Amino acid sequence: MGCSVLSLFPFFILSSSLLLTCVTGNDRIKSGEMITENQILVSAGDTFALGFFRPGNSTKRYLGIWYHNIPVQTVVWVANREKPLTKKSSGSFTVNDDGNIVVLDGKGNVIWSSNASGADIGRNNTFGLLMDSGNLVLRHSNQTDLWQSFDHPSDTLLPNMRIGLNLKTGQSISLTSWTNEEDPAPGEFSLGVDVQRSIHIFIWRKSNPYVRGDVWDGRLFQGGAAPTGNYAGFNSYFVNDEWVYMTVSLSQNLNLLRYKLDQNGQLVTFSWLQDKNQWDVLSSVPQGCDFYGRCGPNGSCDQKIKNSSSQPLCKCLIGFEPRVGDEWDMGNWSRGCERQRELSCDKTNGFLRFERMKLPDHSITQRNLSMPDCETDCRRNCSCTAYAFSNFSDGFASMCMIWVADFMDLVQDYYGGLDLYVRLDGSELVNGGTTDDKKRRLVAIAVATVVSGLFLIGAFVYVLWWGGEEKRNIEANYNDSELLISKNCAPELSIFSFGSVLAATDNFSATNRLGEGGFGPVYKGCLPDGQEIAVKRLSKESKQGFEEFMNELKLIAKLQHRNLVRLLGCCVQGNEKILIYEYMPNKSLNKLLFDPTKQASLDWHKRFHIIEGIAQGLLYLHKYSRLKVIHRDLKPSNILLDEEMNPKISDFGMAKIFGLSQTQANTRRLVGTHGYMSPEYAWKGIFSEKSDVYSFGVLLLEIVSGKRNTGMNSTNPTPSLLGHAWQLWIEGRAVELIDPSIKDSFLPNEVVKCIHVGLLCVQEDPVERPTMSSVLSVLSNEIVSLPLPKEPTFSVVRKSTAVSSPLNTLTNQYSINYVTITMEEPR
């Protein structure tokens, strides 16, 4: 191979940081050989070099890979990015006694290792090899690769590398930006694959969505760029039961190509210009519509509008209007849009088609449905706000996607986008809609013509009579409303005057405001006798209305248990509808559980106490109360904590009363929160006490881990918290799920028992989930025999396919969008 690894001769200064006195013709390192700080390995084709370097003006040193024979040192991979060699310590790279390639400090301590394992791995059986692709591999003498740097990238994606996720092991292959130009330690931004709902490619900023990519529609990623003759490269996609990944291939008209996720979150595409001896920037994203949720909920970003244009980037969909008009007109689109007419669940609703849309986030998918069946399923589900459909002619399953919430991250005029059918009130479908909708409108117009004629005949007579009645009815409506609420208040509940509520909350002052949910704002108050109270005031903008208000009032008034929040009374005056509760000084569980600065205050003893208390409260609702109640919205923000950290289940606005012998019910109006809904409820609207058991299982695993089910991302790269828990369980490492902030206080046997119970609760088949009686029995006993849990539904990927497509090619002719979702949605 030319000169020996250990031979030296003067070289030149690369960048401003590294003096190399040797270039070796060797592309590998074997047992007994060592690379020191002024030596390098060079790939066989002279494309890449491996050695020690200093980034910028830093005095710290790292082992890295960079392009060889390019005058600007361009590092594409770093080994010891979190453990640099200091100024006072020398470093070396070698094959260790255990057969791994390692970086050693001056004292011989291992500061980085490939950490490969195997029965026949050993120092004399392995060697390190630098390939012309830029990949460093640990190869066995039998020519099998035991480890490769391509599976552990830094901030750079090279041709033939892959970005993806192993659905079985949870192994993630993702890019992570440098902290800054002189510090390759992991920064704020990461790029990877998310399979929480549909498959996405995305960029996160810490744990927050930053850019969302295209949706996998079952065959390829929907959307992307128009392929042209000048595009830099093309992507291949592979999806099966084990892996989801993307690779980038190099176009023939380019020599060197790389994609770098920089410290500002920009994914920059570079191509080397040989004649100019410099890197040329082909594209940089995000820009314009690439940013996640650029136009807020229900806002649509116009891909054709440039930032420099005088035209607004964002528009409200037809049938929607800005939530806050003044802010919208000033270019602050974050609050998004809202419906001009609220949907009612009747046959006058229809669907308006929006063409070439980047589909919104939070879809629910169902395979093997026809287009008409997809529309029918959405039409029958009163909570369904839109649907989209992908159909294939080459053996792939069709896919129906529906939405049950606001539309987030919409982009119009999106290359390769799909048609989105948005549900609207019939009066808003004058100029559009599906064929069936148009037929329905023609029939409606004919009927309306006849009816209007009959109506006009009687209108004059009615007007003469109506005038005298109207005045009396206005007054009666207010009295009837107060009377209705008064009748539903149990004798032990107080009827508060609006004036007393104003006095207790200091006129609903901002300083007394505790937060806001789907019902409306919640305030802290104080009664004249000194008792502290919590005041829930129905908001005029709330999607919950008088029905939910009455539901909560009737239910809580008749339910009494130490683990249910206690209702003290109510108030109604005109449009004001208010519920008065006991005050919980420790607020809601999510305020402590997901706050890194407060998690440690919930030690294991308190967490187990909270788990038992929630289970006691649910068992009371399902079995021992006067009414059999299904809560339907169990989540951390609906668990309140009193001064002794006793949990109290709250928010019964969405709860349903069952007959004592009733086992399940079906609804066309879905309510609840993504991440906590059981599979049968989220798609089919079927709910039962086993739906609550599923939510309890998710909640239990969140309490153990301190992580949201909807908040898993590249920093803990598994499909979801449920998937992460399952993987640890089958590997016998369940105890590793525990929140690190309480690692010194937990009892391993109790933790494993709780995880076991949680996984039983989140099984896909409701029949296989335990009852709350069984759950409490297990939690209360030291020795129990439990069935083994089955794998929970945490991945949407089930069909095997390998596809290549010249989409998302990252040139300046188009843009790519990436992101995941991490935020719990408030109701």
Range in 165-169, 282-286, 793-797 the model is least confident about? 793-797
With a cut of 60, say whether residue 388 has pLDDT above it.
yes
Select the more confidently predicted residue: 804 or 423.
423
| Cα-based torsion angle of the residue sequence 468, 469, 471, 472 in order, rounded to the nearest 10 degrees | 130
Domain that holds residue 137: 1-152
Q: Tell me the residue length of the chain.
A: 827
Q: Which residue has the tokens 């609050």?
A: 335
Q: What is the pLDDT of residues 690-710, one digit of tens each?
A: 999 999 999 999 999 999 986
Q: What is the pLDDT of residues 525-563, one digit of tens each?
A: 999 888 999 999 887 655 556 667 777 777 777 788 899
Cβ(577)–Cβ(548) below 8 Å: no
Q: State the first-to-last Cα distance of the chain, in angstroms, to the nearest integer.
A: 66
Res 719: pLDDT: 56
- Which of 121, 152, 183 is at the close of a domain? 152
The CA distance from 25 to 14, in Å, is 18
Written as one string, the DSSP assignment of 380-394 is: H-TT--EEEEE--SS
With a cut of 60, say whether residue 292 has pLDDT above it.
yes
Res 32: pLDDT: 85
Cβ(813)–Cβ(269) below 8 Å: no
Q: Which residue has the tokens 């949706």?
A: 215
64 located within any domain: yes
With a cut of 80, say whether residue 308 has pLDDT above it.
no
| Cα-based torsion angle of the residue sequence 697, 699, 704, 709 in order, rounded to the nearest 10 degrees | 100
The CA distance from 640 to 647, in Å, is 6
Res 668: pLDDT: 54
Range in 16-30, 125-139, 239-253 the model is least confident about? 16-30
Average pLDDT over residues 773-782: 88
- 8: tokens are 């030296």
193 located within any domain: no
- Looking only at the bridges linking them, the beta strands covering 567-573 and 494-495 are parallel
With a cut of 80, say whether residue 793 has pLDDT above it.
no
Res 492: pLDDT: 58
* CA Rg value for the chain: 31
Alpha carbon 741 to chain centroid, angstroms = 23
Average pLDDT over residues 507-524: 86
Biggest CA-to-CA distance, the chain: 110
Res 139: pLDDT: 93
Q: Which residue has the tokens 């606001």?
A: 406
How confident is residue 339, by pLDDT bands cut at 50, 70 and 90?
A: very high
Res 215: pLDDT: 60
Res 236: pLDDT: 64
348 located within any domain: no
With a cut of 90, say whether residue 18 has pLDDT above it.
no
With a cut of 60, say whether residue 226 has pLDDT above it.
no
Q: In a 10 Å sphere around its CB, with 0-12 CB exposed, 13-18 middle and 19+ buried, how is residue 97 labelled?
A: exposed
Q: In a 10 Å sphere around its CB, with 0-12 CB exposed, 13-18 middle and 19+ buried, how is residue 541 labelled?
A: exposed
Res 411: pLDDT: 92
630 located within any domain: yes
How confident is residue 375, by pLDDT bands cut at 50, 70 and 90?
A: very high
| Cα-based torsion angle of the residue sequence 642, 645, 651, 655 in order, rounded to the nearest 10 degrees | -130
Amino acid 281 reads V
Catalytic residue flag (residue 633)? yes
With a cut of 90, say whether residue 181 has pLDDT above it.
yes
With a cut of 50, say whether residue 469 has pLDDT above it.
no
- Which of 97, 129, 152 is at the close of a domain? 152
386 located within any domain: no
Number of domains observed in the structure of the chain = 2
Res 485: pLDDT: 55
How confident is residue 471, by pLDDT bands cut at 50, 70 and 90?
A: very low
Give the number of other CB atoms < 10 A from CB of residue 203: 31
With a cut of 70, say whether residue 711 has pLDDT above it.
no
Distances from the Cα of 699 to the Cα of 183, 299, 681, 751, angstroms: 38, 32, 17, 14
Cβ(162)–Cβ(173) below 8 Å: yes
The CA distance from 109 to 118, in Å, is 22
The CA distance from 554 to 535, in Å, is 17
Res 549: pLDDT: 76
Res 456: pLDDT: 45
Select the more confidently predicted residue: 85 or 461.
85
Res 306: pLDDT: 65
Phi and psi at 805, nearest 5°, equal: -155, 135
The CA distance from 689 to 639, in Å, is 18
Range in 650-659, 706-715, 744-753, 782-791 the model is least confident about? 706-715
The CA distance from 795 to 724, in Å, is 11
Q: The CATH number of the domain where 80 resides is what? A: 2.90.10.10
Give me the sign of the Cα torsion angle 305, 309, 314, 316: negative
Distances from the Cα of 237 to the Cα of 149, 221, 284, 392, angstroms: 20, 8, 22, 17
Q: The CATH number of the domain where 730 resides is what? A: 1.10.510.10
Q: Half-sphere exposure (CA, 13 Å, Cβ side) for 823?
A: 14
Average pLDDT over residues 610-637: 91
729 located within any domain: yes
The CA distance from 698 to 708, in Å, is 9
390 located within any domain: no
The CA distance from 419 to 412, in Å, is 10
With a cut of 90, say whether residue 266 has pLDDT above it.
yes
Cβ(806)–Cβ(180) below 8 Å: no
Residue of 11, 133, 163 whose CA lies nearest to 73: 11
- 348: tokens are 């006058």
Distances from the Cα of 135 to the Cα of 28, 82, 129, 161, 492, angstroms: 12, 20, 8, 9, 73
The CA distance from 240 to 228, in Å, is 29
Res 669: pLDDT: 60
Res 244: pLDDT: 80
How confident is residue 687, by pLDDT bands cut at 50, 70 and 90?
A: confident
Q: Half-sphere exposure (CA, 13 Å, Cβ side) for 766?
A: 16
With a cut of 90, say whether residue 135 has pLDDT above it.
yes
Range in 311-320, 369-378, 459-468, 685-694 the model is least confident about? 459-468
| Highest mean pLDDT pick, 318-322, 428-432, 569-573, 823-827 | 318-322
Range in 442-446, 506-510, 779-783 the model is least confident about? 442-446
Res 653: pLDDT: 78
Written as one string, the DSSP assignment of 327-385 is: HHHTT--TT-EEESS---SSTT-EEEEEEEEBPPSS-EEEES--HHHHHHHHHH-TT--
- Catalytic site residue from 105, 214, 290, 633: 633
Amino acid 588 reads S
Res 542: pLDDT: 54
Distances from the Cα of 378 to the Cα of 105, 233, 263, 350, angstroms: 62, 39, 42, 10
With a cut of 70, say whether residue 465 has pLDDT above it.
no
How confident is residue 712, by pLDDT bands cut at 50, 70 and 90?
A: very low
With a cut of 50, say whether residue 795 has pLDDT above it.
no
406 located within any domain: no
Q: Half-sphere exposure (CA, 13 Å, Cβ side) for 129?
A: 19
- 400: tokens are 């129906």
How confident is residue 431, by pLDDT bands cut at 50, 70 and 90?
A: low
Select the more confidently predicted residue: 380 or 321.
321
With a cut of 50, say whether residue 818 has pLDDT above it.
no
- Which of 94, 123, 152 is at the close of a domain? 152
Res 489: pLDDT: 53
Tell me the percentage of the chain whose pLDDT exceeds 70: 75
Return the ∠ at Cα 166 (arms to 161 and 172), rounded to 5°. 60
Res 746: pLDDT: 86
Residue 613 three-state SS: helix
Cβ(725)–Cβ(734) below 8 Å: yes
With a cut of 90, say whether residue 772 has pLDDT above it.
yes
Phi and psi at 428, nearest 5°, equal: -95, 5
Average pLDDT over residues 737-747: 89
What is the chain's mean pLDDT, rounded?
79
Residue 789 three-state SS: coil
With a cut of 60, say whether residue 146 has pLDDT above it.
yes
Q: Half-sphere exposure (CA, 13 Å, Cβ side) for 137?
A: 15
Query: In the sheet that 410-412 helps form, which strands lie side by side, from edge to edge?
Result: 314-316, 299-302, 410-412
With a cut of 70, say whether residue 572 has pLDDT above it.
yes
- Looking only at the bridges linking them, the beta strands covering 299-302 and 410-412 are parallel
The CA distance from 197 to 503, in Å, is 47
How confident is residue 603, by pLDDT bands cut at 50, 70 and 90?
A: very high
Select the more confidently predicted residue: 444 or 55.
55
Q: In a 10 Å sphere around its CB, with 0-12 CB exposed, 13-18 middle and 19+ buried, how is residue 722 labelled?
A: buried
For the entire predicted model, the pTM comes to 0.58
